Amino acid sequence: MKSIGIIAASAIAIVLTGCSSLGGIAESTNTLTNEKILSQSAGVLGYSPSELSIVSKRTESTNTYVNLVGVKDKKEYVCIINGGNLFSLGMTNPPVCGKKGERINSNPFQR
């Protein structure tokens, strides 16, 4: 009975270790270029890619968080892009964006 408990505990430890490293793999295999980020975000926000500029970006697990600013109007936006890594085969979901400082509506079809 002791050996079954040890095996079960070892299996749980291995699974938990594997899950925590998946985020690192997703981050290190992210293929989202600045051009892709600007193109996708611009479409959602109603700008052309040349009318936006990336202020900052960071990738955490499978999400890329981007702060953007309009070149002419200086309006600031925050976008979240899911995907663009090994786990999603490079595919992404459409960005979810909102004005900086406001809550992002993760389901734009509901108000």
Q: Distance (Å, rounded) from C-alpha 19 to C-alpha 2? A: 26
SS3 of residue 100 by DSSP: coil
pLDDT bracket for residue 11 (50, 70, 90): very low
Burial per residue of 97-110, b for 16 or more beta-carbon CB atoms within 10 angstroms, e otherwise: bbeeeeeeeeeeee
**Which pLDDT band holds residue 111 (cuts at 50, 70, 90)?**
low
19 pLDDT band, cuts 50/70/90, is very low
The better pLDDT of the pair 54, 62 is held by 54
Would the pTM count as exceeding 0.85? no
